[in-house]
Amino acid sequence: MKYHFKDLGLSNTKEMFAKANKEGYAVPAFNFNNMEQLQGIIEACVEEGSPVILQVSTGARKYIGKEMLPWLAKAATAYVEASGSDIPVALHLDHGPNYAEARDCIEYGFSSVMYDGSHHPYDENVAEAKQVADFAHEHDVTVEAELGVLAGIEDDVVAAEHVYTQPDEVEDFVSKTGVDSLAIAIGTSHGAHKFKPGDDPKLRLDILAEIEKRIPGFPIVLHGSSAVPHQFVEMINQYGGQIADAIGIPDSELRKAAKSAVAKINVDTDGRLAFTAGIREVFAKKPGEFDPRKYLGPAKDYMKEYYKDKIRNVFGANGAYKAGTAR
Ligand SMILES: O=C(CO)COP(=O)(O)O
Ligand SMILES: O=C[C@H](O)COP(=O)(O)O
Ligand SMILES: [Zn+2]
Ligand SMILES: [Zn+2]
């Protein structure tokens, strides 16, 4: 063990999820790749008093660098402490591809890991998820696994159609693996193109209800839950970008899910859109600007304000802990 997550001021997701399910909100899990996105996320959650899961894909971990990442997480928890807030912060591996990557993350200070074996045959998914959970639990790290395949692009896996989670499998899966939370497929998908124009953008909340009946109170995770806000897509296109037919999950669908056993909702695309819109706006309006603070700062602020709104109006996680500020 190079770092243990507790030495970085981080928390695992156990108490976060128990409180979220008891009180009927969902914990936001926001992906990040750089310092400004991390600032946007942590400032939003501190100001709202919301717990937060800082989520890093394998690609993001490579981009940041595995040696630098634990200290970015430590920077975030130091910020929380200085702000007077007491929100718990988790550092979570998103879509971990195998045991080796999950283990390496745990040894480098992650407090939570996802093993995503959803595209493997059921028995292989069970076996590797259990291997990850056994190692993780020795170090008090929590584990998320997945059943069902999200449509769209999932890392290198491309599922053309939704393969919804089968409620009949979930009880067997969680008892055999010992994982702490379960990601399910009920119609969400990754990226900015979740539905085609003309589709009815609905989630299969009936499948969610069936799953809840089989594993009452067990923390459920929704991936691919960005709303793909029009205002940012329009800004991007107005200022020289080209994103066509971008459609996300309506807030109303997510709000229903957040009130149920869904304890964690993943958002990456919305933050990317807000951030990109902010940069493009500055570049278009002030073509002479070349100070990174002058375009990354506004980008961060768009992301932060959007996430604050989402925490209040969709996740319902505001006020779960003490709010603070340190800027
Ligand atoms: O599920 C996600 C990360 O694991 C992110 O989903 P979005 O692409 O909808 O933001
Ligand atoms: O689910 C995937 C996340 O949105 C991260 O995507 P990424 O692999 O491009 O970093
Ligand atoms: Zn998956
Ligand atoms: Zn995902």
**Does 230 carry a binding-site annotation?**
no
Neighbours of ion ligand 4 (CB under 5 A): 223
Whose Cα sits closest to atom 7 in ligand 1? 224
Number of the ligand 1 atom closest to the C-alpha atom of 95: 4
Ligand 2 binding pocket (C-beta < 6 A) is: 31, 57, 59-60, 94-95, 190, 268
Give CA separation, 228 vs 147, 202, 322, in Å: 24, 15, 29
- Find the ligand nearest to 267 CA: 1
Give CA separation, 215 vs 54, 56, 208, 218, 327, in Å: 26, 27, 11, 6, 43
pLDDT of 153: 60
The full set of domains in the chain, from first to last, is 5-232+250-272+303-315 (3.20.20.70)
**Does 190 carry a binding-site annotation?**
yes
Which of 150, 155, 275 to mutate for ligand 2's pocket (most ligand atoms within 8 Å of CB)?
155
Give residue 257 CA to ligand 4 midpoint distance, Å.
16
pLDDT of 156: 54
Q: ipTM of the predicted structure?
A: 0.97
Ligand 1 binding pocket (C-beta < 6 A) is: 31, 94-95, 190-191, 223-226, 266-270
Number of the ligand 2 atom closest to the C-alpha atom of 63: 10
Task: State CA 284 to chain mean position distance.
Answer: 30
Q: What is the pLDDT along the chain (327 residues), one digit of tens a residue?
A: 999 999 999 999 999 999 999 999 999 999 999 999 999 999 999 999 999 999 999 999 999 999 999 999 999 999 999 999 999 999 999 999 999 999 999 999 999 999 999 999 999 999 999 999 999 999 999 999 999 998 776 545 556 667 899 999 999 999 999 999 999 999 999 999 999 999 999 999 999 999 999 999 999 999 999 999 999 999 999 999 999 999 999 999 999 998 889 999 999 999 999 999 999 999 999 999 999 999 999 999 999 999 999 999 999 999 999 999 987
- Find the ligand nearest to 268 CA: 1
Which residue's structure tokens are 């009927």? 24
Among candidate residues 226, 227, 208, the one with its CA nearest the CA of residue 218 = 208
Q: Is 83 helix (H, G, I), strand (E, B) or coil?
A: helix
**Does 86 carry a binding-site annotation?**
no
Give CA separation, 198 vs 32, 61, 71, 248, in Å: 31, 37, 45, 13
Give residue 94 CA to ligand 2 midpoint distance, Å.
8
Give residue 190 CA to ligand 1 midpoint distance, Å.
5
pLDDT of 327: 73
- Find the ligand nearest to 266 CA: 1
**Does 189 carry a binding-site annotation?**
no
Choice among 7, 86, 94, 245 that is catalytic: 94
**Does 226 carry a binding-site annotation?**
yes
Cβ-contact 184, 211 below 8 angstroms: yes
DSSP per position, 268-283: -HHHHHHHHHHHHHHH
Task: State CA 172 to chain mean position distance.
Answer: 25
Which of 33, 41, 55, 190 to mutate for ligand 1's pocket (most ligand atoms within 8 Å of CB)?
190
> Rounded to two decimals, what is the model's pTM?
0.97
Residue 94 is a catalytic residue: yes
Whose Cα sits closest to atom 9 in ligand 1? 224
